[in-house]
Amino acid sequence: MKLEKISGYPAPKGPVVLAIMDGVGIGKFPEGDMVAKATKPHLDWLKQNAVYTELKAHGTAVGMPSDEDMGNSEVGHNAIGAGRVFSQGASLVENAINSRALFEGATWKEMVDNALKHNTQLHFVGLLSDGNVHSHIRHLLAMLKEARAAGVKRVRVHALLDGRDVPPTSALVYIEQLEAALKELSTDGHDFAIASGGGRQKITMDRYEADWNMVKLGWQTHFKGEGRLFPSAAAAVEALRAENPGVIDQDLPPFVIARDGKPLGPLHTHDSVILFNFRGDRGLELCRTFENEDFDKFDRGPKPNVKFAGMMEYDGDTHTPKKYLVSPPAIDATLGEYMVKNGINLLAVSETQKYGHVTYFFNGNRSGKFDEGLEDYVEIKSDRVSFDERPWMKAAEITDVALASIRENKHRFIRINYPNGDMVGHTGDPLAVEISVEATDLSIGRLMKAVKAAGGILIATADHGNADEMFEVKKGKLVLDEQGKPKPKTSHSLNPVPCYIWDPSGQAKIRLSAHTNLGISSLAATCLTLLGYQPPAEYDPSIVDVG
């Protein structure tokens, strides 16, 4: 993995700093574009005075099935860190279902055969939407149909409500679609039904161990049948919305579906359970709850005597979960690995909400470091509040860590994730999102001063859009609600992202390369180029030439 140095290129005296402004894209419409609306003097200055371009950050450019699919932080950091594009979870699962490889695989057969042998329940738990970021309802419907064909008698679906990667109050659309399919499958002694649910930000889908209480509440709701009882999922959503006006789907409280006054789907010995999300960051904790003997995060009780599988292997290093339906992409030769193999020391820093992205996902879904002596990873603990209440999040603290490294000339490469534009963008609060972009810009300004003083180079870019499109748009027109107001949008956009590359010394003689139509996967080659190394031949081309 030895890299050749660029002949005659004066490598910068200071570090190359890659600042990923999560969710900060380039909007197409002035209405709802909080990036354009925000006061951001530093980014505006960079656009006029630094090398500037726009990069693709969604669809096939990041390994998704089509260009109608949003990018997201997982696939975005995979692409940035890998330096080229790998087919991602959504594509892999789609192909596995269409080719029937999923249903012919050993894990699917084990889950089904277990339910048949013991005449027990087959549970499906996951995000119920077509956002295609964590899951897709199409995949669930295909598995339900296949389970019925195999003769499984009782199936229970534990439906997590989205409102984040899809319109904020669209849950009933997916519930109605699922209920219709379940009714059609519930004939001739078969009983397929929704058993529980709740908002994805309330139960089950915690990540990075930010709040294990979410997983505890999900465990109690889905698998112990404890909670408020409703006759149907639709009735639950309608009642909870009426009781919590203004709350979007992701924040709705949990609910349990009852029949004859009893919970419909508690977990029993010899049941089978499939977590049908293909994205791993919000599935790892549930996997540990099912699989770990020495589990101590909450009072789970003894390790359940059931068969458990995930849609994919979410962590290749810890092999979590132990059983999965579809093999994940095999991402190798990442930017971080190349750097340490060539003696480049580096720092990765973010707050809890994106710490795993700037480490695990950036390193190709790999836990841990490539070299303990050359890598420093710093996690700033996120606040446990709704992000629209503190849209500045931990941008200042993240920047403090980076500035300390720059001043001490401690690392040759620094990668940062500012989560603000994405995490606040998902709340659907335009004012808070505007402030989040301004907090990010303020931090970029602080980085600029330090990079200039140290003789370094700054790259400011994003992994996907979000804050740039806060209102729903169809066929080029705003979608209005019943009151005639723009309908909020909480999901990612399909827009490109900005890329500013600034060498305050001017010695690098940076200029855009002849390559066009590039995506964020080209950032890896760009970082190596700016450090003075010839990028690997397999990497997507650098955005810039130097020297």
The three-class DSSP label of residue 352 is: helix
Contact 305, 270 (CB under 8 A): yes
SS (H, E, C) 71-92: CCHHHHHHHHHHCCCCCCHHHH
- Give dist(CA 473, CA 479) in Å, integer: 5
Q: Tell me how many helices (H) and strands (E) the chain has.
A: 17, 20
Nearest to 44 by CA among 392, 445, 456: 445
Contact 249, 163 (CB under 8 A): yes
The answer to whether residue 186 is catalytic is no
Nearest to 429 by CA among 37, 70, 34: 34
- Give dist(CA 444, CA 368) in Å, integer: 28
Strand pairing class (51-55; 473-474):
unpaired
Computed from CA positions of residues 439, 440, 441, 446, in that sequence, does the dihedral angle turn out positive or negative?
positive
- Give dist(CA 192, CA 408) in Å, integer: 61
- Indicate which residue of 7, 66, 73, 386 is catalytic: 73
How many CB atoms are closer than 10 A to CB 9?
18
- Give dist(CA 222, CA 304) in Å, integer: 14
- Six-digit token string for 59: 């669809």
- Give dist(CA 82, CA 86) in Å, integer: 8
Contact 17, 357 (CB under 8 A): no
- Six-digit token string for 316: 């290749």
Strand partners, 193: 156
In degrees rounded to 5, what are phi and psi of residue 395?
Answer: -60, -40
Contact 537, 491 (CB under 8 A): no
- Give dist(CA 411, CA 349) in Å, integer: 12
Give me the helix-helix angle, 395-408 and 430-454, nearest 10°: 10
Contacts 24+ apart (CB under 8 A), 94-99: 94/65, 94/136, 94/139, 96/325, 96/326, 97/139, 97/142, 97/143
Contact 481, 168 (CB under 8 A): no
Computed from CA positions of residues 51, 457, 10, 540, in that sequence, does the dihedral angle turn out positive or negative?
negative
Is the backbone peptide bond immediately before 321 cis, with ω within 30 degrees of 0?
Answer: yes
**Amino acid identity at 338:** Y
Strand partners, 156: 123, 193
- Give dist(CA 81, CA 414) in Å, integer: 13
Computed from CA positions of residues 99, 100, 102, 107, in that sequence, does the dihedral angle turn out positive or negative?
negative
By annotation, the residues acting in catalysis are 73
